[in-house]
Structure 1
């Protein structure tokens, strides 16, 4: 009885849960993971948040962000060698979480640079290609992009029409890629094309004859990011431009799986930012003589949002631990991407209702996150495609056709 009484006393004396970390996920992180998270969080909140609305309106990344990300070791941070930080998957995920809590454009840049372009070169490139590009890309002094999606080939990359033909000791590249993050600012493009041997990857430096870019205009989403079309017209590449270790769609799809892992975390960051904005607003906005946080319907919305945010964070952390243990399956990444992006959209829309008319202005981050998440919902695998990926894993039956 004495032990039970003491236990109850300890419970009564325990502090209330932190509204910003309700399930105390912080306790599940290592000291190194917390340090990386806090460093990126400080960067976003101290140096970027005030500049993001203007960058979003202007349609580009905040000035100097690529170099800053390189200086902090965020670019290719989960890769090994060649100047990369070789952090854990969870640490990389936490960085993505904090970046997207600022804006999806920040996380998209880091994802494309590290998990698409750098990962492709690190996994499938020659030693000469790795030595030439990876150290500069890790420092942020060279920017990469990843060309897989085409104007008429999105969810079905096998239907791509971009081709590469080997003749007279050179590759001749023809076709177009669409919706390419970093396209017009990239120093090196990783481009996937059909060849007589199957789909192959090629490194195409900026300024190569026959290679041009054109930015996508009038975007209403993901504006703090450069999105481009890549055009290839008789673009001649040397024989060693091909990634030697990638043949078939396995190569580009493995890169996409790396980037989707970051989205699982990033979407949770966007959701958290919307929840925190709504929680703060509800505590200060007064109607009918008291803060709106004291009304039952507002509390119901806040609890619903907090549940979605914490569930998404738990899922991201679990998948990160699986990845660090070498046990993460691509189908589980699809599960995480599908759930966390949908949950983030629900949180953003609920948060907007708490902010009322203020929720549609640039003074608060909610509408910006909501618009960005519409892009995150459909890039690197639409919600429908990830539903079918998980459905196939559950039933053993493919339903893509």
Structure 2
């Protein structure tokens, strides 16, 4: 005989089972303690290459704090921003998470006030530019973890030698909207005979847009509004767009759709010069099958100007473990906790006392990383921010893509992009 369950009983059992599963999931995802009774704190990051360094740092922390179990959550960069927005709104975000564009979260009350948690004196140990980036309305909203330094030019020494170009000439190069003063473009034309592409002008916000805009004397934002639609902006973008149009840089059809196109072309020996940041240094050192080096970015009408973006760890104001979060933040912002990020050469630590470890690591590899630091000694350009900045970036990027494709003239594109960016920020 087949045993049958009444519909009402089946429904009751189903509801009960569902409830048990939900409780189990809640206990697993948000439980106060691990299986050994320790309090679980979760740290969300977007880069797999940092896991080992963070794990080593957190292991040392846990030895001194045996009541805590700090776990790393990895969310890939491609989906990080969107998932974080959804999780913060839904109350399911990790206790701690990486951030660079934090303003909307701070304004909506979702972040821990770092000054209140760690004391105002804690910021004295951190890179001043990073502290400034994460300060809003007089309060600090993240513990700086690492800085990118400024942009530099990676060069293929073999291709320079074949073209008869001394790296010293590259270091002295000047870009100018006036061809009679421009010495950078002539160098690129000489390099063109020995490689597919001499350089990587493209719609690359941090490595190309900001340095050229800044070295033209322009600004990204002013008084809370976008300001790149200026004569300086037209000079900067006019120069880089022309490099693409003249075949001195890859087609925007390639670079618009792949942020790694230029890096891969350089590593394959098909590009002589690759302007980028310290975040690509470890990859180049590991993968370049040729002699290479680093030098300063070309000097513009206003000198050599770069941005210095930072990544920090923010505390989730909705955490169930505020004291545990405070203790982890204090460790990650200390010289002892932050040093792990620099010892392997992975990145430039935000704790100033630890930055020499980064320089020492690369010096042992025979690589002079001073261009990343020297470019920041003079004027710098802000990488932007403020409420609604992510939406503004999303609004103007496709217009810049069309500009680099040659479909929209530079003056029209800048006007259109600036109006779109301001409108998007205002509608956040």
TM-score using structure 1 length: 0.24
| Structure number with larger C-alpha Rg | 2
As a proportion of its length, which structure holds more helix? 1
TM-score by length of structure 2 reads: 0.23
The one of the two structures with greater contact order (alpha-carbon pairs below 8 A, sep at least 6) is: 2
